[in-house]
Amino acid sequence: MSYARSVPDQSPSLSASRQKTLVMAIFLCAAFFFQLRFYMSPHVMNLFVTYTDTGGAIYEKLHFGTIGIFLLLPFALASRPFVLQGSDIALFRSLLLFSCLMVVLIFYLGAVGRSGSVGFIIDTYVMAGCACMIMLTLPPDMRRLLGDITLVFLVASAVIGFGEAIMQVRLLPYPPIRDVFRPIGLTGHPLTLGAMSATGIGFVAATRWPLWMRLLAIFTLHIGSAISTARTAFVLASVELLLLLLFTRWPKLSKRTERRAKSIVLLLLIPLSIVLIVVLAGAGFLERFRGGIVDDSFMARVTIYRVFEYFSWSQIMMGVHIDDLMFVVNKKLGLEFIESAPVVLTMLFGLPAAIVFTVALVRLFSRLIRGAAGSAQLGAAVFVIASLSNNTFTEKTSVVAMIFVLLIAYRRPSPLMPSSISAGLSVPTPATRTPGSAATGGKPRIGRT
């Protein structure tokens, strides 16, 4: 049965105004939920629910920001038409496929009795895929603005970390007690503060901020990587700065003039770097470098691979329960934590499933990084290197989603890609995709020390 319209059709201008309002609402919700997920640490979550503590209901194991992102995605997809053009189509397809694969992995682990290991898959990888799909429903200018907001909080985290290091008091709760005070800023761990400060340098260079603002932000992030006492992150941040200086193009200068200018800046940076290192060392921020690179922390990352000696090939192929793994780690190897993503993935998922997971993650990451600006690619490379030295890829963390969001925010613009809010209002063409249409273009406790 059908009914005749009793209300006249809305005018085009009114319809466009309504769609602009929807786009703005999605943007504001995305900005809030993204930053809530990125910067509300697990220790803060534990003040409200049993997020990482033992016990608690299933829904308490999901971050508030993750829940918000899950609820926002269907609204972002179905509330109004949106346009995908060029490489966005293939990227959206890859994100959807990756998220579906993660859901299949969750069901598999539940079927084999290891449902306790799925928490980080949902709260890290499924959440990251959903956040990126929300990003793609927004116009490029809004995507970039979301990236800018994320970087502003990242710089603020480095500033807060510096204040914590000076006052020897943390702003946010951090239960672990260490012999040496280590600031955390707005993150949940000193290593995260260091790694994300180093990573943010490359992304800040990709922004359209005024030059003085970019230089100030980069300097702040470099200091943030130093005061975090994360040795790998500080070294990577220093190398990253050198590479940015040598290989980033300076606009409005000829190649010859650019080479001369870079040589002068490099000569000035050498004595300034020496002074900075002396000041940081005098303030006690480089204490962890005094014991060299090969210390107990380094050896723990090597010793952990002996865990395979205590399990049979069938257990390695099929995976084991987290409690069995941690028993071997704690009692047999004498280690408190697992500082190795390959060990965790192999022993929890089983070798075949771990390989499938790794291939899927590498394929998605390579597609994201391929379209990003050069300095953003450098920042992403720093993140991967820093994260492989610990268990970032195998814990409930927001940094994976943060990197994905930043890579989308600072992608190189496509010639066909609209660059304003009108992108969210365009009428679909044969080269675009809208929700429901076919594509026609382009093919536990595993802590850290």
Residue with tokens 């084991």: 320
Tell me what pLDDT residue 275 has.
76
Residue with tokens 């979301």: 146
SS3 93: helix
Q: Fill in the amino acid letter for 58.
A: I
φ/ψ of 62, rounded to 5, equals -100, 135
Question: Which of 181, 186, 184, 185 lies closest to 168, judged by CA?
Answer: 181
Give the up-direction half-sphere exposure of residue 262: CA atoms within 13 A in the CB hemisphere.
18
Distance CA 293, CA 340 (A): 17
Question: Which of 277, 300, 303, 299 lies closest to 290, judged by CA?
Answer: 277
Tell me what pLDDT residue 251 has.
66
Residues 6+ apart with CB under 8 A from 192: 184, 392, 397, 399
Give the up-direction half-sphere exposure of residue 154: CA atoms within 13 A in the CB hemisphere.
32
Q: Give me the residues paired with residue 411 across strands.
A: 372
CA 337 to mean position of chain CA atoms: 22
- Ordered mean pLDDT values, 10 residues apiece, the chain (449 residues): 42 70 93 95 89 77 93 91 85 93 89 78 93 94 95 95 88 75 86 91 91 89 86 86 81 73 76 74 65 62 82 86 84 80 86 91 92 89 86 87 94 59 39 41 43
Residues 6+ apart with CB under 8 A from 351: 316, 317
Tell me what pLDDT residue 77 has.
92
CA dihedral 133→119→360→188, nearest 10 degrees, is 80
pTM score, two decimals? 0.84
Tell me what pLDDT residue 418 has.
47
88 touches 150 (CB < 8 A): no
DSSP class of residue 173? -
Tell me what pLDDT residue 402 has.
95
